[in-house]
Amino acid sequence: MTAKIDLHCHSTISDGKFTPQELVAHAAKSGVKVLALTDHDDVSGLQAAREAAVEHGIHFVNGVEISAMWKKRTLHIVGLKIDAENTALKTALDKVRIGRDERAQEMSAGLAKVGIHGAYEGAQEIAKKSILTRSHFAQFLVQSGHVKDVKSVFKKFLVKGKPGFVDHQWMNLEQAVELIVGAGGSAVIAHPGRYDLGRINMLLLMHEFRRYGGTAIEVVTGSHTPPQFQQFAKIAHQFSLKCSIGSDYHGPGLSYMAMGSVPELPAGCVPVWDDWPEKQYLN
């Protein structure tokens, strides 16, 4: 059985291919009944998606996917049922986006000093409309012939002490959870199987996340294998965390899972939507 709920996907507001309206239409066509849009660090697509959802007869849930630091790694924390007008949340997300762009400009300036020009523009061309990351700079440096592969590019240019490195402090895990909870939402760790944490750190993460007020983890996601569905269902149970489902759909041909083809949660999971009114539409 496939799930009729999808609580993680992206539109053109971040790095997806479909506009919020197109995405909602696509979800409805794919049999999704309850949908959350979770663009990276941006809530500006929610209004349009909500209006489109009414038109297509599906139930919309506000969402966002926030990048947060934990033990020098970037984690993704999904916020569900957030108030998109919450001032603290909006201000913090604005800051993240401005910081990201400023960092990209500084990286480009650093590279220009060693004779590599046009890195900002080049990286942006590779990123298309999506948010600029270090990996776009890496691809630019390879494509423009400055290094032979993406692996050596980081060593030569993009790590501490190298010309394209700019340190940046994203918000930390605690701040991200606080923001989401402060905006009336539930915090969910996105695709926990993707962080390559090792067992001890994974358990430590779950423990801290719960202590900060986190609600759930993604158990079924396009980033997990079926054995990982079971593995994370167990971890959720162990830490009394609820379970979420999301395709992490970015557009045709771009994701691990197509919309409307996401499996249901393993038996025994308490769904993150357990106490939501939207639960009634899933029967």
Q: What is the nearest approach in angstroms of Zn ion to the Cβ of residue 16?
A: 9
Q: What is the nearest approach in angstroms of Zn ion to the Cβ of residue 223?
A: 8
Q: Which is nearer to Zn ion, 192 or 260 (CB)?
A: 192
Size of the site for Zn ion (CB under 5 A): 4
The verdict on 81 binding Zn ion (CB under 5 A) reads: no
Contact pattern for Zn ion over residues 96 through 135, marking x by CB under 5 A: ----------------------------------------
Contact pattern for Zn ion over residues 57 through 76, marking x by CB under 5 A: --------x----------x
| Near Zn ion by CB under 5 A: residue from 46, 190, 259, 265 | 190
Residue nearest to Zn ion (CB): 76
Q: Which is nearer to Zn ion, 172 or 281 (CB)?
A: 172
Location of structure tokens 């440096």: 141
Contact pattern for Zn ion over residues 237 through 266, marking x by CB under 5 A: -----------x------------------
Q: Which residues bind Zn ion (CB under 5 A)?
A: 65, 76, 190, 248
